[in-house]
Structures are given as C-alpha cells and as structure tokens.
Amino acid sequence: MSRFTKKTFQPLDQEEKDLMESIEKEDWQTVKNLDREKKEAVQAARNTLKKDKRINLRLSQKDYHQIQLRAIEEGIPYQTLIAGIVHKYLNGSLLPKYHEKNIKPAV
C-alpha cells in the first residue's frame, strides 16, 4: 500500500513522481557507515559554501540598483545573489531566457 495518496500529495513533476515510486518500491538502502557519510557530506557542504576569496567588481549604477532590488525580492544580501549567479554560470546551470522558452537569440 502506498504511503502517498493523491489526496495528500501530488508530485510536482515526473522526477518527483519517479522518486516517490522508488521510495515506495524500497529501492533505497541505508549506507554502511552512516556517521562517516554524514560527516563527509557536512564537510563537502562547508567546503562548497566557504567563501575565502574577495573580488572587486565595477558595475553600472543601473545594474547595481537592479541587483540590490532583486536581492531584496529574494530576501538575501546582494553579494550572495552575485556569488550565486557566478556559481550557476560556472556550473552551466544559468541559461539565458531564450533557452527556457526555446526562443532563438536575435542575431
């Protein structure tokens, strides 16, 4: 019997639906050394989030104010927003709007 019913929880997308089904099939197994795995995951997260380098960046006043406004909307400091944008760009997960809507860029 499924722990999730249509009344209590609707998956957001196919990935979430597949994940729910794999949990229901009990495809997941406990790792052998849970404490060590947790410590490694925590250390990896700390290393990822550690910001130990500074840069100076010159922006136009208009861009600076737009970044500040967007950061306020997101509820985060503008420096964090900029760092997140750079991180996403470098990891290939930041795509221009025309990629999201299958619109070709103007040439």
Largest CA distance in the chain: 59
Q: Residues of the chain with pLDDT > 70: what percent?
A: 83
Mean pLDDT of 14-42: 89
Q: Any idea where the domains of the chain sit in the sequence?
A: 58-107
- CA distance linking residue 71 with residue 78, whole number of Å: 5
- CA distance linking residue 44 with residue 52, whole number of Å: 15
For the stretch 53-103, pLDDT in tens is 889 999 999 999 999 999 999 999 999 999 989 988 998 888 777 655 555
- The residue type found at 98 is Y
How confident is the model at residue 60, as a pLDDT? 96
pTM > 0.75: yes or no: no
DSSP state letter for 18:
H
Q: What share of the chain is helix, strand, coil (3-state, %, to 5)?
A: 55, 0, 45
